[in-house]
Amino acid sequence: MGKISIKNTGKTPRQTQQQNDLLLEQNHDHFCPVTKSAPLNQRVNRRRIAGAQLKGLVTQCEPYIHPRFIAHNELLISLLSLEKQGANIETIGFSSAGRPIHDITIGEGPKTIAVVTGAHADEPTGTQTILSLSQFLLNSPEGQALQTAFTFKFIPMANPDGTTDNQAWFEDAEAGLRPFEHFTRVKRAKPGEDVEFAYRLDGGNTAENEVLHQWFQKLGSIEHYVSLHSMVVGGGTLFLSHQSETTPVPERIQVLLRSVEDQKMALSQRDRCGQKGFRLLQPGLQTAPTKAAMASFFEQTGRLEVAEAFGHSSMEMATYFGDAKTAIVTEIPLCYCPALSDTTPLNISRKELEINFAHRLIESAERLHSSVSTEVQPYLTPFLSHITGYADTLKHDTARYPDTLATVGDRSDHDMQLLRRQITVLRKLLKQHRDDLDDRDINQLQSMLQDDEAQFLTQFEPTYPSISEQIRKQLAAILCGIF
């Protein structure tokens, strides 16, 4: 596709190759891999040391972190600046609405670290992570040393149309995330249009996925791949690894988990027991979903149109085309609720708890429907129908859960899902149909909404990690690839 409007001004201003080699040698501990053949205690100790080194490297990136969400038009300005500093910027294609999609290349090393951000445009932290890391690589001695050992390939915004659609809420979120606003204002693509899960090897890709499909094909061998995501509400820091549950966790991911342990946010303990492909491997790490696992979940209840809409994930593409040694997803909570990872056992099996949850979903939706006036009920009928279908899917999926005891975190997750769904439907109803309702109905709905939101805040005591905190964890997920 070619360059953006400003030409490269030459290679990155850096020291000579000999000086860079010296820097690399002096920082050998940063880049020294953990040896799998070493004794277990030696490997554990090495992970601890390497985790501290990775944490230190992320700290060196902090002067380059600019903690705000970036709109598409602002990204273009930032890319022009990076190009002047020596990054290679290329327009590799266009979105469905004709917005450019860019590739950033920094470094000339033999090993490739590839990163895609913004596939889910309602999770905007990744773009700023890439811009911060690019500044570090171009302007610090440590970053310049890395360029001799690695080539960094970044897609800073994979879904510019979605980013533009979501711009209003994340501009407001810079002053502090309001989860209830996020529940109702975000815009997420449907299955089949979801950029993360819409890669089709036999054609029929969206415009964005076709651009990225070709990008993956041209990358060659990949040392480490990362897809940067967030989650609206979570019980701790979480990463997804593209691997089977029986495969040992790669050492560099063990190093990553060591580096992000802190007192502000625990590692997520939530286990979905293989649902849609998510299974807990160890605290902070789950297996990543696949096309087959996502489709299977919906096929169980005959929802074939939804199952067929799913394509391959970017992790599958990185493995298929680039034979990626490691491929991970970041899932850093925008809203942190520790109760979701409470491992205190309950006096009920996980399987029974999941069966009960399916019934609770329907009961909650029916109770909401029956508690409003007959004038309001028609507006809630689609919600009730959707919940009934979803609960039916869950009932057919309970065989995967063990008979071992459920935890407080499992129950808290169910409680939160119920509250989130009710808060969301009430907010949307008031926003979309306020003019059709009389004052009595509006007052009733507002009162119900206030009670649900108060219960959410009281029961879950959410905290909101700063954008800088989120970026630091995403930087660690990328830079662990050098180990």
For residue range 316-371, what is the model confidence (pLDDT) as tens digits?
A: 999 999 999 999 999 999 899 999 999 999 999 999 999 999 999 999 999 999 99
Q: Is the pLDDT of residue 16 over 90?
A: no
- Sorting pLDDT into bands at 50, 70 and 90, what band is 161? very high
Q: Is the pLDDT of residue 236 over 90?
A: yes
* Longest CA span, the chain: 78
Mean of per-residue pLDDT scores for the chain: 88
Predicted confidence at residue 179, as pLDDT, reads 72
Q: What does the pLDDT look like over 245-254, one tens digit per residue?
A: 889 999 999 9
Predicted confidence at residue 17, as pLDDT, reads 35
Tell me what the mean pLDDT of segment 76-104 comes to: 96
- Sorting pLDDT into bands at 50, 70 and 90, what band is 124? confident
176 against 432, higher pLDDT: 432
24 against 397, higher pLDDT: 397
- Sorting pLDDT into bands at 50, 70 and 90, what band is 260? very high
Predicted confidence at residue 300, as pLDDT, reads 81
Residue with tokens 């820097």: 23
Lowest mean pLDDT across 210-224, 252-266, 443-457? 252-266
Predicted confidence at residue 291, as pLDDT, reads 94
Q: How far apart are CA 281 and CA 313, in angstroms?
A: 20
Lowest mean pLDDT across 52-56, 185-189, 254-258? 185-189
Task: Record the tokens describing residue 40, joined without a space.
Answer: 């277990």
Predicted confidence at residue 173, as pLDDT, reads 61
CATH for 17-337+466-482 (3.40.190.10, 3.40.630.10, 2.30.38.10, 3.40.30.10): 3.40.630.10
Lowest mean pLDDT across 180-194, 200-214, 374-388? 180-194
- Sorting pLDDT into bands at 50, 70 and 90, what band is 70? confident
**CA neighbor of 285 nearest in space, from 225, 229, 245:** 245
Q: What does the pLDDT look like over 32-64, one tens digit per residue?
A: 443 444 555 665 677 788 888 999 999 999 999
Distance of CA 289 to the CA centre of its chain: 12
Q: What residue segments make up the domains of the chain, in order of their start?
A: 17-337+466-482, 343-460
Predicted confidence at residue 175, as pLDDT, reads 55
Buried-exposed string 146-165: b where 16+ CB fall within 10 A, e elsewhere: bbbbbbbbbbbbbbbbbbbb
Answer whether 124's CB lies under 8 Å from 171's CB: no
- Sorting pLDDT into bands at 50, 70 and 90, what band is 12? very low
Q: Is the pLDDT of residue 192 over 90?
A: no
Q: Report the range out of 30-34, 102-106, 372-376 with the highest average pLDDT.
A: 102-106
Lowest mean pLDDT across 35-44, 101-110, 160-169? 35-44
Q: How far apart are CA 252 and CA 243, in angstroms?
A: 14
Exposed/middle/buried for 204, CB within 10 Å: 0-12, 13-18, 19+?
exposed
Q: Is the pLDDT of residue 190 over 70?
A: yes
Predicted confidence at residue 1, as pLDDT, reads 47
Tell me what the mean pLDDT of segment 94-98 comes to: 96
Predicted confidence at residue 188, as pLDDT, reads 83
Q: What does the pLDDT look like over 268-327, one tens digit per residue?
A: 999 999 999 999 999 999 999 999 999 998 888 788 898 999 999 999 999 999 999 999
Predicted confidence at residue 42, as pLDDT, reads 60
Lowest mean pLDDT across 22-26, 67-71, 90-94? 22-26
Buried-exposed string 317-351: b where 16+ CB fall within 10 A, e elsewhere: bbbebbebbbbbbbbbbbbbbbbbbbeeeeeeebb
Q: How far apart are CA 285 and CA 288, in angstroms?
A: 9
**CA neighbor of 50 nearest in space, from 226, 241, 256:** 256
Q: Is the pLDDT of residue 19 over 60?
A: no
245 phi and psi, to 5 degrees?
-70, -15
Q: How far apart are CA 126 and CA 389, in angstroms?
A: 33
Predicted confidence at residue 69, as pLDDT, reads 83
Task: Record the tokens describing residue 478, joined without a space.
Answer: 């990328």
Q: Is the pLDDT of residue 4 over 50?
A: no
Q: Which amino acid is at 465?
A: P
